[in-house]
Amino acid sequence: MSTASVGGRTKGAPVTQTPQVPQEQFELAEVRNFRDVGGLPTVDGRRVRQGRLFRSGHLAHATEADAAFLGGLGLHTVFDFRNSADIKIEGPDVALPGVRNVNIPLTDPADGAEFWAMVRDGHLDQLRVALGDGKAAARMARTYRHIITTRTEDHSRVLHALAEDSVPALMHCAAGKDRAGLSVAVTLLAVGVEPDAIEEDYLKSNDPHRRYKIRRSDNSAVGMSAEVMELLAPLFGAHTDYLTAAFDTIEQTWGSTEAYLSEGLKLTPATRERLRDQLLTD
């Protein structure tokens, strides 16, 4: 994917059915990486509507004020892509009145359990062996490829739900950058958002105020040293190479994005049109 910037954007058309959400980013106290995906341009000159698709980190620690703000968005569905191990650590999402919560784990609890325990508890020498020399980034790229090839049914389920009645929707995982980031990217592909714009939105998860807080059992100067943080950085950042790995896997597996959408995700022309009607400006 190209990293060229996308300029000259204007806000999408107003959506009368849901509250207006400005483009400015909200500073929620205990919900990381929240944003409205509205405004992104499509290849046919339309834009994603404001107030229709949101993304964030988990909602488990949302404050009362956070929940009040989220409850005012007019959400129909919250898609939670965490697995049971994530939910055990962080807790379930706060309840938002009138909002349907749908949990679709995009990774299994056992996937990498020992690895993530090492990330949390491992000493510097262990981290060097496991994560150094590009191993951390390579692991993340493999995860993205794995989700694309093994979770097509889950992504199909999400897209069909959005096409029917599940908007406005919020998608999240733990940090809101990988499982949710990839699910948002697939959704944007399905409605024809420009690839550069998909990438630009994905990389916003690197903004300092959005980044997931690295948790270590050893928060000493040694356990949280600059070298440890450098080794862990590829795991907790959004990188173009990861998204490129996912999109390259689509091409390698299905031959084209169109084949992925129709054969992999089982999106008929009628379903894709409904999806565009739900998420795009006229």
Average pLDDT, the chain: 87
Q: Could you read off the pLDDT of 152-188 as tens digits, one per residue? A: 999 999 999 999 999 999 999 999 999 999 999 999 9
Tokens describing residue 108 = 């299994």
Does the pLDDT of residue 12 top 60, yes or no?
no
Does the pLDDT of residue 10 top 50, yes or no?
no
What b-and-e string marks burial along 77-109, b requiring 16 or more CB atoms within 10 Å of the CB? bbbbbbbebbbeeeeebbebeebebeebbbbee
Its sign, for the CA torsion 110, 114, 115, 118, is positive
pTM of the model: 0.86
How many other C-beta atoms are found inside a 10 Å radius of the C-beta of residue 206? 14
Identify the residue with better confidence: 135 or 225.
135
pLDDT class for 9, splitting at 50, 70, 90? Answer: very low
Closest CA to 30 of 58, 55, 68, 54: 58
Strand pairing of 35-36 and 53-56? Answer: antiparallel
Q: Could you read off the pLDDT of 196-235 as tens digits, one per residue? A: 999 999 999 987 667 666 666 666 666 677 888 899 889 8
Which residues have a Cβ under 8 Å from the Cβ of 9 and sit 6 or more positions away?
A: 39, 41, 47
- The predicted structure's pLDDT at residue 119: 79
Give the helix ranges, DSSP H, for 151-239.
Answer: 152-164, 179-190, 195-203, 226-236
Does the pLDDT of residue 23 top 70, yes or no?
no
Quick check: bond before 92 cis, omega within 30?
Answer: no
- The predicted structure's pLDDT at residue 47: 98
Amino acid at site 277: D
Closest CA to 103 of 32, 66, 143, 157: 157
- The predicted structure's pLDDT at residue 20: 42
Q: Which residues pair with 116 in a beta bridge?
A: none
- List Cα–Cα distances, 209 to 28, 51, 129, 154, 229, in angstroms: 10, 21, 30, 30, 17
- The predicted structure's pLDDT at residue 269: 97
- CA dist., res. 282 & res. 276, Å (int): 9
Strand pairing of 77-80 and 169-172? Answer: parallel
